[in-house]
A and B are shown apart, each in its own frame.
Chain A
């Protein structure tokens, strides 16, 4: 499985964009990048995923570099409710859909 590297923690001001980076330099050509978040003591929540093109949905945007070795999750207008641990995951290849989480980034949105 491709490993991911994320900063341990980040801060963001309420109303500003939050940009969360992720390195996945060993990603394979057929592996997708997924982002999840976990708000305190709740189950993780899916945010977005992509292969090589940039993606946007109602929650966030995902920017993947051309060489696919890194990506950035963008929350365009962070709110206090976006304070959470954000996980960047590269989906395992092979015949089984195994999801392996790292330690993620704790994003704290400050008023």
Chain B
């Protein structure tokens, strides 16, 4: 398995509180992604990063921010959590585009906002 670790794996938080999810990789891959998965919607891209301090929005970025200060870590922050952000969050990594490499996914973080 690719070296991807998501933390925490499970979290329950209250509406209005800030939450940060961490994705850590040991593969030195350039690209990192955050997805959320909800019943009936499949996997939806929140944000992605194509290098240190280089990030861009995905299709469902409202209410989320990200940061990547070093290659191995990609943080997803919910500044003020809402119940609609209750979901399973997956991090993914992939190598350089020119190599057309596949993406590897973490095991997910189950976030519940009450």
CB within 8 Å of B: which residues of A? 32, 34, 36, 38, 41-46, 49, 85, 87, 91, 95-104
Contacts and interface: CB of A to CB of B under 8 A. Distances in A.
Interface residues of B, number: 26
B45 A100 contact: yes
Interface of B: 31, 33, 35, 41-45, 48, 50, 56, 58-59, 88, 90, 92, 94, 97, 100, 102-108
Contacts of B97: 95-97
A99 B102 CA distance: 10
Nearest to B48: A98
A100 B59 contact: yes
Q: Which DSSP category, helix, strand, loop or mixed, fits chain A's interface?
A: loop
A34 B102 contact: yes
A36 B92 CA distance: 13
B100 A44 contact: no
Nearest to B95: A97
